[in-house]
């Protein structure tokens, strides 16, 4: 019945490169006798659509009929069409029998204007281009919004002006851009940029400030979308714009045929193309894998609430079943599990915990991850814990930010960064998915059930979309969890490989000189030392006892102000610190440096850096050292380079004045010097 109903049809399918669209294309091409598939895709449509044939979804078909035959079928039936629905719809040929629209943004938190452009405006553009042809729109069950009770398979009865909402949303970006350019905001972005990369130089700060401005605009639009959606009773801008899209189609369709298919949360395949097939991370995967890695100590959710999940092949099958029927006017189908096979959140947790206890995720070199026990304390308790953790992480970030730059500080910074990343992850997904795991609505599927029961036995077997045909232990624990955790297991079990040897190719100009410059910083790269340590090494070499202690104490007292100067501007720090040399006899300092610093540098020299320098030298490259350290400090290792660019102190009457001869090469000034030198 389904195959017969689709035979000979010419079908337009949008969103073919997405998760659902790829599965739909595979089934139409390999398991039905449609005459033509107009596959709409952005960019190089032919390359993108043809590339799907080499993917995992088409793997069983390649094995079954052979790669050459599959390619022949593609060339005979599939016509890739370039179109970006955010800008314009493609022309729809007069001979097209049916349009299936599955393209959408699947992110729950896109910027407001992008969500409207993709979900609402893109759909209306395609619908208008179809000129009244039968149209199947893939929506979402969550258009029901934040409600309780049951949601039947019928059009929404909410009164809302979708055109006014779209106009406001699309104008929001211009308003946000204008707001971001107000002087007080620009000053704030610049101040933050200086705090992050102040040592890099003014142009780098300007680039960073502009990057922060763009982030601010995006975040403002994301917040605006979430706020507007929730103010009208939807959990996020995704569900909100999908609901408005249904309202728009209802108005635009008039007496023309329109069918809406509303899947719930689409996850990996139950049967076709093979059990567990999935592309990318869907809704539940980030949370599940974070739990398996022990990174999710608790999560908001109602234990008795149902997380409505449906396998992707069941969504494809109901779309094909609907497409094979005579065109309908305003028919709505739910393809969901919550009505007849509810998956309670506690049951999900129990199956997930059982699975990871039986098959723990390996932690590379450290055994395996331990999964936490959830107590379901409620949303408020989880939020309170997150606020407490936020304060701890903020305190740690402030402390680490004030530490002197050394290996211990870097280790501490990395640990705090990991904590911040984990906390931000929990906050993000608790906010995004909290409404979905606390849902108290059931999406009834009476019409979908009636359609399934009307099918012959062969179609029920080959195009199953009955949510009662599987158990959650069979599907979720036996198919889905192994499928989504397999990549992490593979990565963890792949042995650590040593860093590949760098191939440095000899190159010379026609005159015999090398056109390649190998530039190196010195401090922290070639030598594990810094200007403060070198100064102390010199001073302590000529003092002892109480004088030595006083010198160390004097420098230690200046450390806070020096660190502040370095955070603001590396050049300022060097100017301030080098005044320590004021009044010192230049010849004495140089002689002392020559006598004492060689031992320090020899012990602190990086063997890996020396090997790299030798490779460049063997290749005939010009070795350049660029450093903010003083010339007499670098003298012990100057022979490793062809060109050494250092700071130099002014001299007057044989004494150092404490001032530098020229501004030090720090931050972006180094790139400028290298460009000039390379010319």
- Higher-confidence residue: 197 or 653? 653
Tell me how many helices (H) and strands (E) the chain has.
27, 16
- Rounded to an integer, what distance in angstroms lies between the CA atom of residue 128 and that of residue 85? 12
> Over 70: is that where the pLDDT of 424 sits?
no
pLDDT (tens digit, 9 = 90+) per residue, 153-186? 999 988 899 999 999 999 999 999 999 999 999 9
Average pLDDT over residues 590-610: 74
Task: Say yes or no: domain 2-160+232-493 is CATH 3.40.50.300.
Answer: no
> Over 90: is that where the pLDDT of 578 sits?
no
- Higher-confidence residue: 648 or 397? 648
pLDDT (tens digit, 9 = 90+) per residue, 442-451? 899 999 999 9
> Over 80: is that where the pLDDT of 590 sits?
yes
Weakest-pLDDT range from 11-25, 88-102, 573-587: 573-587
pLDDT at position 498: 47
Answer left, alpha or beta for residue 652, where phi above 0 means left and psi between -120 and 50 means alpha: beta
> Over 80: is that where the pLDDT of 597 sits?
no
pLDDT (tens digit, 9 = 90+) per residue, 63-97? 999 999 999 999 999 999 999 998 889 999 999 99
- Rounded to an integer, what distance in angstroms lies between the CA atom of residue 455 and that of residue 58? 26
In sequence order, which residues have a C-beta less than 8 Å from that of residue 535 and are 6 or more positions away?
555, 577, 580, 581
Average pLDDT over residues 337-358: 92
pLDDT at position 500: 43
Weakest-pLDDT range from 193-202, 220-229, 320-329, 466-475: 193-202
Weakest-pLDDT range from 272-281, 377-386, 521-530, 667-676: 377-386
- Rounded to an integer, what distance in angstroms lies between the CA atom of residue 22 and that of residue 43? 16
pLDDT (tens digit, 9 = 90+) per residue, 471-499? 999 999 999 999 988 877 776 665 554 44
In the chain, what percentage of residues exceed pLDDT 90? 45
Domain 517-678: top CATH class: alpha beta
pLDDT at position 606: 78
pLDDT at position 340: 93
Round the average pLDDT of the chain to a whole number and report it. 83
CATH topology match: 2-160+232-493 vs 517-678 = yes
- Higher-confidence residue: 186 or 620? 186
Average pLDDT over residues 539-550: 51
pLDDT at position 618: 83
Show me where the domains of the chain are located: 2-160+232-493, 172-223, 517-678
- With cut-offs at 50, 70 and 90, classify the pLDDT of residue 560: low
Residue 421: is the preceding peptide bond cis (ω within 30°)? no
pLDDT at position 402: 54
What is the token pair recorded at 666? 């720090």
What is the token pair recorded at 590? 């140089």
């Amino acid at each position: 019945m389904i195959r017969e109903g689709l035979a000979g049809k010419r079908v337009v399918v949008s969103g073919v490169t997405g998760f659902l669209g790829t599965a739909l294309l595979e089934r139409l091409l390999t398991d039905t006798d449609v005459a033509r598939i107009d596959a709409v895709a952005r960019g190089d449509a032919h390359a993108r659509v043809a590339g799907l044939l080499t993917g995992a979804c088409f793997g069983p078909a390649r094995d079954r009929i052979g790669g050459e035959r599959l390619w022949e079928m593609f060339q005979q039936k599939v016509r890739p069409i370039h179109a970006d629905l955010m800008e314009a719809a493609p022309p729809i040929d007069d001979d097209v029998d049916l349009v299936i629209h599955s393209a959408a943004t699947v992110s729950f938190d896109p910027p407001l204007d992008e969500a409207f452009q993709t979900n609402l405006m893109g759909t209306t553009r395609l619908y208008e281009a179809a000129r009244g042809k039968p149209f199947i729109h893939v929506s979402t069950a969550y258009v029901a919004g934040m409600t309780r009770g049951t949601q039947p398979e019928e059009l929404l009865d909410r009164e809302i002006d979708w055109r006014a909402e779209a106009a406001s949303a699309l104008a929001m970006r211009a308003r946000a851009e204008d707001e971001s350019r107000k002087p007080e905001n620009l000053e704030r972005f610049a101040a933050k940029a200086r705090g992050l990369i102040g040592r890099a130089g003014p142009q780098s700060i300007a680039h960073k400030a502009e990057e922060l401005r763009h982030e601010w605009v995006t975040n403002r639009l994301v917040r605006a979308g979430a706020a507007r959606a929730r103010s009208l009773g939807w959990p996020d801008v995704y569900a909100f714009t999908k609901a408005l899209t249904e309202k728009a189609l209802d108005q635009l369709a008039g007496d023309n045929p329109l069918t809406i298919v509303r899947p719930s949360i689409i996850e990996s395949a139950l049967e076709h193309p093979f059990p567990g097939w999935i592309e990318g991370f869907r809704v539940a995967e980030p949370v599940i894998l974070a739990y398996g890695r022990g990174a999710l100590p608790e999560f908001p959710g109602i234990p008795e609430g149902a997380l409505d999940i449906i396998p992707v092949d069941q969504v494809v099958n109901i779309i094909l079943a609907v497409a094979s029927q005579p065109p309908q006017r305003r028919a709505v189908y739910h393809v969901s599990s919550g009505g007849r096979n509810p998956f309670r959140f506690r049951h999900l947790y129990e199956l997930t915990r059982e699975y990871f206890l039986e098959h723990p995720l390996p932690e590379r070199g450290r055994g395996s991850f331990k999964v936490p026990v959830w107590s379901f304390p409620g949303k408020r308790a989880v939020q309170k814990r997150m606020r407490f953790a936020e304060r701890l992480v903020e305190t740690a970030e402030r402390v680490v930010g004030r530490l002197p730059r050394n290996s211990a500080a870097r280790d501490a910074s990395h640990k705090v960064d990991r904590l911040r990343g984990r906390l931000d992850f929990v906050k993000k997904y608790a906010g995004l998915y909290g409404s979905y795991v606390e849902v108290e609505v059931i999406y009834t599927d009476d019409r979908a059930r009636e359609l399934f029961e009307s099918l012959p036995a062969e179609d029920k077997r080959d195009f199953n979309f009955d949510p009662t045909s599987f158990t959650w232990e069979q599907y979720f624990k036996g198919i889905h969890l192994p499928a989504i955790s397999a990549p992490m297991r593979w990565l963890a079990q792949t042995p650590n490989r040593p860093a590949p040897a760098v191939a440095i190719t000899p190159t010379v100009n026609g005159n015999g000189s090398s056109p390649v410059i190998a530039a190196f910083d010195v401090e922290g790269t070639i030598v594990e030392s810094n200007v403060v340590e070198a100064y102390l090494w010199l001073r302590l070499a000529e003092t002892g006892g109480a004088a030595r202690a006083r010198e160390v104490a004097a420098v230690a007292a200046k450390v806070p102000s020096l660190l502040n100067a370095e955070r603001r501007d590396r050049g300022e720090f060097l100017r301030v610190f080098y005044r320590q040399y004021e009044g010192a006899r230049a010849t004495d300092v140089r002689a002392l440096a020559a006598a004492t610093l060689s031992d320090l540098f020899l012990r602190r020299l990086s063997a890996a850096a020396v090997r790299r320098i030798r490779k460049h030298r063997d290749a005939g490259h010009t070795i350049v050292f660029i450093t903010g350290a003083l010339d007499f400090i670098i003298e012990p290792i100057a022979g490793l380079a062809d060109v050494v660019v250092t700071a130099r102190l002014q001299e007057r009457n044989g004494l150092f004045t404490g001032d530098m001869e020229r501004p030090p090469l720090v931050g972006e000034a180094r790139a400028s010097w290298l460009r000039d030198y390379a010319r």
